Chains A and B, each alone.
Chain A
Amino acid sequence: MTNDPLSHFREIWLVDFEFRPHDGQEGSLPDAVCLVAHEVRSGKTIKLRCHEMGDLPPYPTDESVLFVAYYASAEIGCHLALGWPVPARILDLYVEHRNQTNGLSHAAGLVDALAFHSLDHMGAHEKHSMRDLILAGGPWSEEQWTTILDYCEEDTLALARLLPAMLPAIDLPRALLRGRYMAAAACMEHNGVPIDTQTFDRIKKHREAIKTRLIERIDADYSVYEGTSFRRQRFAAWLQERGIPWPHDDRGHLRLDDETFRQMERAYPEIAPLRQLRAFLGENRSSPLPVGADGRNRVLISAFGSRTGRNQPSSVRAVFHRPAWNRSLIKPQPGWGIAYIDWSQQEVGIAAALSGDSAMQQAYTSGDPYLEFGKQAGAIPSDGTKKTHKAERDRFKACVLAVQYGMQAESLAANIGCPVIEARELLRLHRETYPKFWAWSEAAVDHALLLGELQTVFGWTIRVGADANPRSLANFPMQANGAEMLRLACAMATEEGIRVCAPVHDAVLIEAPLDMLDQHAARMQAIMAEASRIVLDGFVLRTDVEIVRSPDRYMDERGEKMWDELMRLIAEVETEREADDLPAPATPLLGQVPTDSAGPSITLSI
């Protein structure tokens, strides 16, 4: 058995849960409905219904036992909800399938993985009727229970077929490290982000009135709305009047996607209020923020969801991924505080460390890599500061960011509103100042194109297919190793008992009782430093911390103006309604959530 990579484990448990959010409310913790667990060596199968689940799992969870699942954060989430311990060794076949096919295919469901390995996937198909039955909640008849358990067992049996097929290509030690993160992801999903539900309720309650007034107020400077409809022709006239060149699509129409607005906003800041308004109106048409009965925003983190391995939570359901003003809804519960801790210029630091470019390392360790780049390039004097040379620093910063995203001179020029020749010169200065970085970066792309893959320090892999994009490949080492760093830090922190509420690209939000907040924030910073040291082989990245203590709320400066405007409008509407003593209108687009702020779903006062 020495060739068996699993020979170290005395037991191998394949586990699948069926579950539903508590009380059926999205954002609430999961209620485990049933569990089917199968031990590979003995062939033993355990089937438990919710009321049969005890204080401990029916299988051991120590390091001599391998816990195998498909999308393990869901199973671990059930463990946490049940108060069960987290297994010490987790192998997630979803993550490994993603890793084996990343870049070639994005289909990563259990059926897709079975099909990829030419395995029988009958029975593992998603059955919507079964899902509906489970989500509807009990009580279930004996016949329904049998059906639900059979449905759950089908996935466990699918794991039994999938494991031996995938095993030869699995790098087990690093796969277990990825499994370790799935436990951390489950912890973070379990914790969720604390939301000011009272204010959230007020916004929902007065949404229609706010919407109309917001349009009136902001559109006064643009005249591009007709009622609540954005008129493309009016916008075109407004642009023409101001001489703003706007990108067009292939059909010659103005591009109206948020990314175009975001890009244009940099060169023409007068567009910003219009962009915020459009985002606000747009998000009202999409899913509401899922907030559990306990006032927490809980969403699937979607670990390993992107090609770089970064988390990919929903951009409309995760509070941190919605337009910036939504972050003001984040508010610690009484007696608690939150700390937002992010790595300073993480991607610059990673590029400097992994490429071994000493000039870039020096720029990073200076504390202001953009200013230092300007100095190294001879454009800013050695005694120049962020204040004395703000404009120059901004340009060098834009250049560094442009390099990270593989931008060409034309895009950089559009971003910073300068002639193309100037942008070209900035990019040339970057190449000249950091020749070792460029040689390394180009070698990484060559490596990918020649050998068909690129890997992070812990083996997260991008496969190079026919649609290979050299710019994405050049950026992969920075993004994907940044993801490794975040995963490691989240795992270390959650295992130490730090309450991590959410990972946010290159940052984390943690919470702690007020008397322990500073200590936990400092510990989190130390953990993030250690994670960077491990990933970057000794090079340590700095972190910044922002602390918010109850009763204050979190605030992102990018969304502050919009938030203030919203709060002012709500206050106006409430004053008027109070004066008129009229009931608020219903909010049909958010129909899932009761409009009455005293309703049962979001009434938990914090």
Chain B
Amino acid sequence: MADAAPNPFDPKKLRLQQDYLGSAGVKKLLTRVPARKPSKQEWFRTHPDPAYRMDMGVIELKEDDAIYAVSAGLQADLLDLMVPVTIYTTVTRQGGVLLWPVRLPGEDGKNNDAWVASHEAAERATEAWMRLQWNMALRAYDMFEATGILHEPAWPDVTFEQLLEIGFQGRIIDKPDHLVIKKLRGEA
């Protein structure tokens, strides 16, 4: 005879787990992180951890509507083409993850109100849901803060370095004869 007779009158002992989160070993992969600013309709939050932001040089190629990251070693040679930005890790209310580049003053110290307002919004967005909308009449950003939304954003479970890797995959200028540089210099 086997160990114990099956007893349908003790259902507690028959209960099977319903924890699907671990059972099939499924994990959502972050495969796309656009490098752009939030649109005028998007509410956003920025990562409060300073490790999730970084100052760097980028080049915007208008014809491709794409932003390229410039390797640190090349920045001194490309001062005329690149612009300095702070990259903020940003999440929209729809759950999209962005790398938001906000202009920093150039070598000449030139600054403008829009850049300042963007940095201010990025700072505020570490604690509240924000939205930025360009006001043509004022030639400045209108800044909106959501007061009734209490939910904290779900931040991606990856490092900032991994976000940069995903966001700038194929768009890192790491050599002086990069095709983007050639194009901008009229050499290609």
User: Residues of A with Cβ closer than 8 Å to B?
Assistant: 1-2, 4-5, 7-8, 63, 89, 172-174, 176-177, 179-180, 354, 356, 378, 428, 432-433, 435, 439-440, 443-444, 446-447, 450-451, 455-459, 477, 481, 488, 534-535, 537
Contact = CB atoms under 8 A, between A and B. Distances in A.
Nearest to A439: B21
Contact of A177 (B11, B20, B93, B149): B11
A458 B20 contact: no
A488 B11 contact: yes
Chain B interface size range: 20 to 34
B138 interface: no
B21 A440 contact: yes
Interface of B: 1-2, 5-9, 11-16, 18-21, 23-24, 26, 93-94, 148-151, 154
Given A2-B1, A180-B8, A457 B16 contact: yes
Q: Which of B12, B15, B149 gathers the greatest number of chain A CB atoms within 10 Å?
A: B15
A537 B11 CA distance: 11
Contacts of B5: 8, 63
Contact of A534 (B1, B12, B26, B150): B12
B20 A443 contact: yes
Given A443-B23, A446-B20, A457-B18, A177 B8 contact: yes
Contacts of B13: 173
Q: Is the interface of B mostly helix, strand, loop or mixed?
A: loop
Contacts, number: 81
Nearest to A5: B2
Contact of A458 (B2, B9, B16, B26): B16
Contacts of B150: 378
Contacts of B23: 443, 447, 451
Contact of A173 (B1, B6, B20, B151): B6
Contact of B18 (A435, A439, A446, A477): A477
Contacts of A7: 1-2
A570 to B, nearest CB: 48
Given A7-B2, A446-B26, 12 more contacts: A8-B2, A63-B7, A89-B8, A174-B14, A177-B8, A177-B11, A354-B18, A439-B21, A451-B24, A456-B16, A458-B14, A458-B15
A488 B11 CA distance: 9
B11 A534 contact: yes
A7 B3 CA distance: 10
B16 A455 contact: yes
Given A2-B2, A443-B23, A458 B154 contact: no
A378 B21 contact: no
Contacts of B18: 354, 456-457, 477, 481
20 contacts: A5-B2, A8-B5, A63-B7, A89-B8, A172-B6, A173-B13, A174-B14, A176-B7, A177-B14, A428-B94, A443-B24, A444-B20, A447-B23, A450-B24, A450-B26, A456-B16, A457-B16, A458-B16, A477-B18, A534-B11
Contacts of A172: 6
Contacts of B19: 356
Contacts of B6: 8, 172-173, 176
Nearest to A477: B18
B29 to A, nearest CB: 13
A435 B151 CA distance: 10
A416 B154 CA distance: 30
